[in-house]
Amino acid sequence: DVKVTQSSRYLVKRTGEKVFLECVQDMDHENMFWYRQDPGLGLRLIYFSYDVKMKEKGDIPEGYSVSREKKERFSLILESASTNQTSMYLCASFGNPSGNTIYFGEGSWLTVV
């Protein structure tokens, strides 16, 4: 089975702190994504990466950056956390040999106070 692992499940950070969210997938997928999910707004794409060291902005990249130094790992960085970044963050991966299905990690619940 495909496994997408988000190492930090629940975090509480202070405004202005730098936050790292790590995601690792074990299926050799080319594509990896970071979404945030908020009540009433659904899933929104922050950034995605289609290859090592490649990244593309999604719909809401402001306030975030990403890093993909290795194929299996995609990190989301909040350079200076703000309260409006309190949310659930979902990492996902997609690609061969899993066909046309996107797989999600368990989610990281971030609260910024």
47 neighbors 35 (Cβ within 8 angstroms): no
Mind spelling out the 3-state secondary structure of 28-80? CCCEEEEEEEECCCEEEEEEEECCCCCCEECCCCCCCEEEEEECCEEEEEECC
Stretch of 15-23, 39-47, 61-69, 74-82 lying at the interface with another protein (CB under 8 A):
39-47
The reply to whether 26 sits near another protein by the rule CB under 8 A is: no
The least distance separating another protein from the CB of residue 16, rounded to whole angstroms, comes to 27
The reply to whether 86 sits near another protein by the rule CB under 8 A is: no
Give contact residues for another protein (rule: CB under 8 A). Answer: 31, 33, 40-43, 45, 48, 50, 56, 88, 90, 94-95, 100-107, 109
